[in-house]
Amino acid sequence: MPDEMKSTATDKVTARIPAVYTNALTGFFEAATSGSLFTIRFFKEIVKPRYEFSEFLKQSYLIGYKSFPLVAITGFIMGLVLTIQSRPTLVQFGAESWLPAMVAISIIREIGPVITALIFAGKVGSGIGAELASMKVTEQIDAMEVSGNNPYKYLVVTRVMAATLMLPVLVTIADAIALYGAYVGVNLQGNVSFHLFFLQVFEKLEFLDVFPALIKTFFFGFSVGIIGCYKGYNATKGTEGVGESANSAVVFASLAVFIIDMVAVQITSLFI
């Protein structure tokens, strides 16, 4: 009898495994379809009047200006630490004079955009997700629809546009501050003038170092904004859904940043 019970339990577990995988696959495709439709709606709504310029400016201030202190501090530390860590290796190979150019290319091409985008995803993505989720679970979004307003236009379009346009600005500022941090790092164990340091930097920088890195930041900002809005706009489960929306917005936005960066690097490598 015990053997028969064990056999029955094993059969039940085995029978449930395909159902679990099927449900997970179904959930994935449902989420992918819902997210795609949500994104397509953004491109439809962005060209339709009425245009919420005042809300867009407000979100640009909250998303861009309010993120500046964190981005600035991170950029300075990033340039300083990278310079200090890279110096001993270059000294071993007698290539210490390449330090400013190497640090600048590393920051502008890859480290600056990606690190800033991840910080942006953590701060802005979670904020957007939590804010819209709170409005969703308290039925404020439903109230806007009942009153004849377009909550998608007011809440989603403005935030996605602000995130898309503000992240490139923040990355540019972070790169500049990181280069100053690198200059400070070089002078901790040496004596290089400000003019000579940046002369060495700009002698080695090329168009393909700067332009692709700047272009991909627009995609970073868009992905952070649209994912944060999607997670918040479709929140469920009451107040519990607020935390889940904020958490999942950060996770998926960070993952999207890495995927976009990987694709951008592959495309850029075709032209170098």
Three-state secondary structure call for residue 51:
coil
Report the amino acid identity of residue 152: Y
Report the alpha-carbon angle 72-98-88, nearest 5.
80
What is the per-residue pLDDT for 18? 62
- The pLDDT of residue 243 is 84
Q: How far apart are CA 63 and CA 57, in angstroms?
A: 10
Burial label for 214, CB within 10 Å (0-12, 13-18, 19+), is middle
Position 8 scores a pLDDT of 54
Question: What is the structure's pLDDT at 6?
Answer: 45
Residue 107: what pLDDT?
A: 93
CA-CA-CA-CA dihedral for 44, 50, 56, 59, to nearest 10: -80
pLDDT tens per residue, the chain (272 residues)? Answer: 455 444 554 455 445 556 555 666 776 777 788 888 988 989 988 888 888 889 999 999 999 999 999 999 999 999 999 999 988 888 887 777 788 889 999 999 999 999 999 999 999 999 999 999 988 888 888 888 888 788 889 899 999 999 999 999 999 999 999 999 999 998 888 788 888 888 988 888 888 888 989 999 999 999 999 999 999 888 887 777 788 888 999 999 999 999 999 999 888 888 76
- Provide the token pair at 154: 């007011």
pLDDT of residue 226: 94
Preceding peptide of 159 cis, ω within 30°? no
Q: Where are the domains of the chain?
A: 51-269
Burial class, 103, CB count within 10 angstroms (exposed 0-12 / middle 13-18 / buried 19+): buried
> Up-side HSE of residue 220: CA atoms within 13 Å toward CB?
31
Q: Is the Cα dihedral 240, 244, 247, 253 positive or negative?
A: negative
* Helix runs in the chain, H state only: 2-45, 53-63, 68-92, 99-106, 112-120, 126-137, 140-146, 151, 158-188, 194-204, 207-233, 239-269
